[in-house]
Structure 1
């Protein structure tokens, strides 16, 4: 059973968090239909992440990974087997079609994708452009003589 959360109070009292609140609201409304294939999301360092997906029964060329703006889409479509091929007595390995969508934060980029022994690993990195990183602002006053060194405050790097 899924609890419904009302984000209206946050919309009224938050400024600049529209995108995050909309994403939470959307995630709350979309029912989860299928949880196949199973996957893990790992944070490997401050700005690095990895998605590991168990895609048994699929080959490397059955998988497609695309990044569309802030959405990562992983699709698996198995090529049809000829009718006169092997006849299964029991088929327990799924190998069925799937499409998984992952909402990515700003400035997330896929840096690598590897397929080995039925496990697809997608590596992501947050790369914030220099123009958007915190910068030091000089403070001047009308009483400061020209050429005199003005003390400056340096900001610490904070995790997003």
Structure 2
């Protein structure tokens, strides 16, 4: 992926993390399977719902690493000739879909229900703390 010209400015020092975040988001946007919804549940809570019909909880994995939520589905390959489909319209392939989370977002849990995987996210209210900075004298 080409580097963003905006972040190559000599006046923007230390923004490598932001550039990497934008690159990860662009890569995640290019994924198309499985389809998903993102719902705003209010009060800083979100729900991501992925259509994962045919997957069991043991075949699904939800993980968070470095503010990136990754959902993966793995299926064991069936032996050749075991299934005789006349038409196969339901996808049986594995997948990996990623979402970049904002600072402070936490995954509350994941539930598989009727072929839909619901992942609940929340942004807890920040704790307000006043930090007093001591003033030193010179000399």
2:31/2:97 contact within 8 Å kept: no
TM-score by length of 1: 0.64
SS state at 2:22 partner: helix
Contact 2:7 2:19 in 1 (8 A): no
CA distance in 2, matches of 1:107, 1:10: 28
Higher relative contact order, chain-length normalized (CA < 8 Å, sep 6+): 2
Larger strand proportion of the pair: 2
CA displacement at 1:24 relative to structure 2: 2.5
1:134 correspondence with 2:133: no
Q: Is the 8 A contact 2:38 2:48 kept in 1?
A: yes
1:56 and 2:53 correspond? yes
- Indicate yes or no: 2:77 matched with 1:80: yes
Q: TM-score, with normalisation over the residues of structure 2?
A: 0.72
Which runs of 5 or more residues in structure 1 are unaligned? 139-160
Gaps of 5+ in 2: 133-139
CA RMSD for the aligned pairs? 3.1
How far, CA to CA, are the matches of 1:91 and 1:115 in structure 2? Answer: 23
